[in-house]
Amino acid sequence: MEYIEKSAAQIAHDVRTRVRSAAEVTDATLAHVESVEGAVGAYLTVLADSARAHAARVDERVRNGEKLALAGVPVAVKDNMCLDGSRTTCGSKILERWIAPYTATAVARMLEAGAVPIGKANCDEFAMGSSCENSALGVTRNPYDLTRVPGGSSGGSAAAVAAYEAALGMGSDTGGSIREPGAFCNLVGFKPTYGRISRYGLIAFASSLDQIGPLARTVEDAALAYDAMAGFDPMDATTVDRPVEAAAGALREDLRGLRVGMVREFDSAALGAALDALYRAAYRDLERLGAELVEVSLPTAAYGVATYYLIAPAECSSNLARFDGVRYGLRVEGDDVRSMYDRTRAAGFGPEVKRRILIGTHALSSGYYDAYYVRAQKARTLIAGDFERAFAQCDLIACPAASCPAFEFGAKSDPYSMYLMDYYTIPMALAGLPALSVPCGWTTPEGGRVPMPVGLQLCAPLFAEKLLLGAARAYEAATGHALARRPELESVRA
């Protein structure tokens, strides 16, 4: 148990220097997964045989002198990313038995760097949700309080890393689906610039918003994963053919010379006294590390949620039209083709996916396209313009990562309150900006039994990942919030 709690950087160093083998790390991780997975539920599919085969290949490559950045590092792969020969479900009944015939570019790059895939991690169905409660195939629990959600949609990847069932998690972020589970599970959740990491092999939710990124226990680990995945891919026309600045070797010790923007419209007092105190303390820590705090304004950010919930469902409606029982996935027979379509989609999609398909189809329909979808795209342009003007006055922006800590299952059963969970993360997604959540303290929620983690969101201009990760590392090292508590796993080990 003690060894698998090491960082990805430490594990990779030990495997490269042959202090331990990738096979030993993999066996220890799989044994721990078997011990706690029944309580945590991070994975939909555990790939034990495949993981051991990958580990053997890593050990052979190390013996042959290859310097692998992620040698032997156990990784949880969100189950909306293809991995050749593995079940890839998107947390949906419609793909429950679908086997991927190829591997997503981002996953392939992680494996090429030496990572070992432990399993396919649970997620909200087709990545639509903020709590991981929308999965049709399993329940994932927050390792810090098993009565609470891990966040979503990348909840399985986050829970796996927090519970030491993997050292790194691969997630996707459309409106906050890496950053929010990062905040809920005491992790670094990092969404790079849109187009920086290939989406080839990521089953699409909203194509103009989806972005793959890592979940990790340290900023250095997140940087190592980012460096492995980032870069142009001819298989994805939305990736940007621009050199990647390596981030892992350029982490900072302080914030001297940086201007950090405090968003006038993101007043943390609205979150209650406990969270307000935590965020104000975090901003003081930034200042103590040498940053100059400056006020900036994002006047259209308040329209982010409304804008997002027109654009994302519209793209979802288009992307999910392919799941009709004809080519792959679930097929429910009917009297004719139309009946087969209706029965397949009714049985295969869950309530939240159906809700978003209906919203998106309406927004794209004749007579409503200009009134809804086109206006939302115009609002998106205004939001991006506000960020551009804000970054003329600062180098980074700091604000909350979520509007509350992890909540109990069923506490936000109405869609409206759930959609508002992404209030602070959606504007960055609409603008395509790199952003991350880094642990910034602990608070005991009302009625809660133990303190739960809280995340500080940092956001940077387009393609400024190196700056963003460097600043987050300085804050992490100076505060040490992530080390304050451990997940509650001893009571559930088999």
177 is catalytic: yes
- CA atoms lying within 13 Å on the CB side of residue 420: 9
User: Across the strands, what pairs with 248?
Assistant: none
Asked about 366 being catalytic, the answer comes back as no
Farthest-apart Cα atoms in the chain, separation: 70
Q: Which of the residues 153, 154, 157, 268 is marked catalytic?
A: 153
| Amino acid found at 265 | E
Question: Across 57-157, where does the E strand assignment appear?
Answer: 74-78, 116-121
Q: Which of 6, 21, 50, 78 is catalytic?
A: 78
Q: Is 153 assigned a catalytic role?
A: yes
- Strand 396-400, strand 259-263: pairing: parallel
CA angle 106, 107, 113 (to 5 degrees): 90
What are the tokens at 282?
């975090």
Q: How many CB atoms lie within 10 A of CB 278?
A: 21
Q: Are 54 and 114 in contact (CB under 8 A)?
A: no
CA 100 – CA 92 distance, rounded (Å): 14
R_g (Cα) of the chain, nearest Å: 21
Calpha distance 167→160 (Å, rounded): 8
CB proximity list for 387: less than 8 A, separation 6 or greater: 298, 397, 427, 428, 431, 433, 459, 461
Q: Coil, strand, or helix at residue 191?
A: strand
What tokens were used for 212? 């793959």
Q: Is residue 436 classed as helix, strand or coil in its secondary structure?
A: strand
Helix, strand or coil, per DSSP, at residue 209? coil
- Three-class SS string for 350-365? CHHHHHHHHHHHHHHC
Are the C-beta atoms of 125 and 345 separated by less than 8 Å? no
Three-class SS state of 148: strand
User: Residue 238 to residues 216, 312, 313: CA-CA distances in angstroms?
Assistant: 25, 17, 20
Q: Determine contact, residues 136/350, Cβ cutoff 8 Å.
A: yes
Comparing CA positions, the residue from 182, 90, 190 lying closest to residue 142 is: 182
Active-site choice (50, 157, 177, 198):
177
Distance in angstroms (rounded) separating the CA atoms of residues 225 and 221: 6
The Cα 209–Cα 237 span in angstroms is 14
The sign one gets for the Cα dihedral 150, 408, 398, 265 is positive
Positions marked catalytic: 78, 153, 177
